[in-house]
Amino acid sequence: MTEGDRGDPVPFKFRPPRSIAAMYRTPTGGTIIRRAPDHRAEDGMTIIEVMVASALLLMVAAAVSTAVYSGLRLQATARQRATANDWADHLMELARN
């Protein structure tokens, strides 16, 4: 005789564990495959990812602007050198005549 049969209060009755396959049976006899919950609604960029991406973009923009500025300065120097060279040639021609 168990305690429940004597009238003692039993909070729950013991049931033997069911098999995992039995827990996921459909009424038609198939088996349901449980998948991990889909967290696509929570996908996105965190504030840290945004800050890292912004810093990286800032560094690339600074590097490109520095390269463009250096190139323009070299071009201006080359143009001044060519102008000075042409002016010196002109003065040499005047001195020969």
Residue 27 lies in a domain: yes
Residue 2 lies in a domain: no
Within the chain, strands assigned E span: none
Residue 58 lies in a domain: yes
Residue 83 lies in a domain: yes
pLDDT recorded at residue 58: 98
pLDDT recorded at residue 72: 97
Q: Is-contact 14 24, C-beta < 8 A?
A: no
Residue 63 lies in a domain: yes
Number of domains in the chain: 1
Residue 28 lies in a domain: yes
Residue 40 lies in a domain: no
pLDDT recorded at residue 1: 46
Q: Which domain holds residue 16?
A: 9-35+45-96
Residue 23 lies in a domain: yes
- 59 against 33, higher pLDDT: 59
Residue 80: helix, strand or coil by DSSP? Answer: helix
